[in-house]
């Protein structure tokens, strides 16, 4: 894991830890790396979410880019998928999104995208880190009068809305859909995208004040669950503050997570001959129920690393057409270069229209396996050490053998955080809970943790 960037970009407490100085350095180093891969006049697009610190960080990133002799084109407040898609549309050198995605407004972050609209690879992020932390002198001063310019784009949102609406079903007459925008960026686009479909659309979570991002939406969906029942809606759709994730609520007020949405979409794509290689991409985060659904439906599964970057890379390399995780981070690479919550919502409504099923009926596609999860904080000096301890790894192997095909044991270290995460799935909650506790106790004992 990088010294600045993690699996999902750089995140930290805004301005305090993600300082203006660091943001400027990231912008400057990113410009040097991205511009070196393009022959034309380099131009980097900048998007931001609606949290109160985004303006400050945007100004710092912009200064860094321009100081490296690269133009900075500001898109303003936009969903993250819009930036990723628009980079490729307008043939920019790359893009930087200022967002902390699904977490609260105290934090902010930076995601960097390539000229193809994909998350920047780890090798190029490492190159940016080296320019910031080890070799800043390698970024040569630009010549007099060759500084970058600040450009303002006023059409990106309209172009994005037109693009997403291409995938919308023709007529949703009789549908009543509640949409929770998480007080985030989809509040700028969702009403225009969904209101023209013939359904009655009720928008909630659309009063951003810079501080309330992600206080509702996919990460806090309880209010939408109540709203759907109280207003007798066909369903509810919830996004995160950056517009990447999509979760749903059925007509009875029950949560429909990403695994169910993936299953529904994969079933539909298979029936239409659009599920390339008859395969869906999954990771350790997906519930075993999704894998069992795929097996019963004669659909193959292919594994990818946890996190969007690894999943998209695997999909591109192998030509797969859908993948995602339980949080609603779902990728349709034929249509968008990154996960797009609004596109996912469109796909789900299209399935409801075509099949005539209710969302509660669709939820029966998957029988979820019980899960137990623990996180054990560790000292940084013990990182990776536990993997070579036979008392720990042997116990994990024993439990994997006991569970067989009806369960799964996942023990891994968390991103940049010094912690070991344990997740066990199986048919019987009591059994897997005992297993998880035993693994946790063994790790604590072997690493001499309190």
Q: Measure the CA–CA gap between 163 and 171, rounded to whole angstroms.
A: 18
Reported as half-sphere exposure (CB side, CA atoms, 13 A), residue 448 has a value of 3
Q: Please list the residues that pair with 47 across neighbouring strands.
A: 76, 97
**Contacts by residues 383-386 (CB-CB < 8 Å, ≥ 24 positions apart):** 383/413, 383/418, 384/413, 385/447, 386/420, 386/443, 386/446, 386/447
3-state secondary structure of 324: strand
Q: Measure the CA–CA gap between 57 and 334, rounded to whole angstroms.
A: 32
The helix (run of H) or strand (run of E) holding residue 66 is helix 54-67
User: CB count, 10 Å around CB of 26?
Assistant: 26
Contact by Cβ (8 Å): 280, 116: no
Contact by Cβ (8 Å): 111, 96: yes
Q: Which residue has the tokens 């292919």?
A: 302
β-strands 10-13, 107-113 pairing = antiparallel
Cα separation values, 37 from 41, 97, 136, 182, Å: 11, 19, 19, 36
Cα separation values, 20 from 58, 62, 182, 281, Å: 9, 11, 26, 38
Cα separation values, 186 from 50, 217, 291, 347, 373, Å: 10, 10, 31, 16, 31
Residues in contact with 362: Cβ distance below 8 Å, sequence separation at least 6, in sequence order:
250, 256, 260, 264, 351, 352, 355
Cα separation values, 330 from 59, 250, 407, Å: 31, 19, 24
Q: Measure the CA–CA gap between 350 and 315, rounded to whole angstroms.
A: 23
Q: Measure the CA–CA gap between 398 and 411, rounded to whole angstroms.
A: 13
The helix (run of H) or strand (run of E) holding residue 80 is helix 80-89
Q: Which residues are catalytic?
A: 101
């Amino acid at each position: 894991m990088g010294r600045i960037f993690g699996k999902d970009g750089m995140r930290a407490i805004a301005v305090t830890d993600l300082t203006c100085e660091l943001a400027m350095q990231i912008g400057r180093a990113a410009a040097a790396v991205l511009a070196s891969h393009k022959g034309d006049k380099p131009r980097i697009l900048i998007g931001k979410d609606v949290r109160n610190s985004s303006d400050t960080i945007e100004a710092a990133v912009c200064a860094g880019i321009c100081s490296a002799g690269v133009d900075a084109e500001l898109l303003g407040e936009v969903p993250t998928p819009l930036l990723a898609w628009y980079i490729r549309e307008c043939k920019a050198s790359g893009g930087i999104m200022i967002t902390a995605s699904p977490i609260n407004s105290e934090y902010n972050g930076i995601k960097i995208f390539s000229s193809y609209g994909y998350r920047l690879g780890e090798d190029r992020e490492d190159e940016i880190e080296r320019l910031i932390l080890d070799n800043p002198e390698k970024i040569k001063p630009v010549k007099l009068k060759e500084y970058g310019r600040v450009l303002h784009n006023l059409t990106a949102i309209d172009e994005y809305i037109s693009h997403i609406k291409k995938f919308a079903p023709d007529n949703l007459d009789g549908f009543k859909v509640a949409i929770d925008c998480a007080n985030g960026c989809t509040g700028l686009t969702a009403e225009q995208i969904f209101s023209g479909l013939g359904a009655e659309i009720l928008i909630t979570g659309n009063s951003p004040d810079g501080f309330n991002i992600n206080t509702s939406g996919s990460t806090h969906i309880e209010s939408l669950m109540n709203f759907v029942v109280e207003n007798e809606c066909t369903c509810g759709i919830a996004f995160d503050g950056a517009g990447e994730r999509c979760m749903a609520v059925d007509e009875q007020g029950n949560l429909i997570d990403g695994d169910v949405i993936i299953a529904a979409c994969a079933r539909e794509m298979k029936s239409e001959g659009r599920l390339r290689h008859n395969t869906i991409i999954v990771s350790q985060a997906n519930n075993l129920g999704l894998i069992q659904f795929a097996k019963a439906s004669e659909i193959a599964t292919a594994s990818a690393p946890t996190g969007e970057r690894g999943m998209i890379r695997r999909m591109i390399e192998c030509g797969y057409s859908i993948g995602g995780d339980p949080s609603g981070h779902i990728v349709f690479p034929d249509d968008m270069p990154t996960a797009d919550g609004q596109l996912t919502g469109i796909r789900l409504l299209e399935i409801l229209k075509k099949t005539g099923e209710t969302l509660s009926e669709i939820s029966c596609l998957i029988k979820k396996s019980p899960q137990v999860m623990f996180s054990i904080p560790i000292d940084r000096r013990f990182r990776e050490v536990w993997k070579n301890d036979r008392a720990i790894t042997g116990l994990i192997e024993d439990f994997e053998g006991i569970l067989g095909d009806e369960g799964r044991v996942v023990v891994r270290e968390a991103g940049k955080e010094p912690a070991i995460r344990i997740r066990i799935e199986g048919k019987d909650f009591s059994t897997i809970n005992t297993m998880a506790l035993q693994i946790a106790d063994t790790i604590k004992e072997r690493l001499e943790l309190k």
